[in-house]
Amino acid sequence: MGNEIEELKLELNRLKENNRELLQTNVKPGLQRKVQEFLDDFEDYFRERGFVIRKKENKVRVSFDDLHLKAFSDGGHDIFIMRGKEQIASVTVKFIGEGKSGGQGQSVDLLDQLEKEKSLAKDLSNPVFYYTGREFGFKYESPLSVLESIFGV
C-alpha cells in the first residue's frame, strides 16, 4: 500500500511538472497573443469610427473631440480601458481549465489530484482562450464582442 502511494505521488509530481511546461509553452504565449489581438481590435474599432489613434507598446490611445480613451495591458493578461483617469472596464484573458490544479492540500484525495492534473493537461495541451471581466462576467470569444458589450451599438 505504501509503495502504491509513493508511485501515485511520483506520477502526480510528473504530471504537475509537465503541466508547468505546457503552461509556459502553450498558454502564456497564447495569453499574450490574445491581449495583443484585443489591443489591435480596440484600435481598429475606434479607427473605423473616426477616432485619432496613438499607439505604443501595450497601449492604445484613441481621441475624438473631447473624448479620450485608452486601452493598455499591465504586461500580464489583464487589459484596462480608461476614460481620462477613470477606469471604465477591465478585461482579462483566460483559458478553459484555468484554476483546475488540485494544489498541495492533504484533504484532497491523491487520486482526485491525479484526475485534476490529467484533465488540466488536456486543457493546457490545446488551450481555448476567452475574454472576461468584472464588469460583465461573461465569456467572450472575440475582442469585438467585448467592445460592443462595453460601448454598445
Break the chain down into helix, strand, coil percent, rounded to 5. Answer: 45, 25, 30
Task: Give the closest residue to 119 by CA, choosing from 18, 29, 47.
Answer: 18
73 - beta bridge partners? Answer: 79
CATH code of the domain in which 64 resides: 3.30.920
Distance, in Å, from the CA atom of 32 to the CA atom of 139, rounded to the nearest integer, reads: 18
The total number of structural domains that make up the chain? 1
Report the predicted TM-score, pTM, of the whole model to 2 decimal places. Answer: 0.86
Low-confidence ranges of the chain (pLDDT < 50): 106-107
pLDDT confidence of residue 108: 61
The pLDDT, as a whole number, for residue 107 is 43
Domain that holds residue 106: 2-151
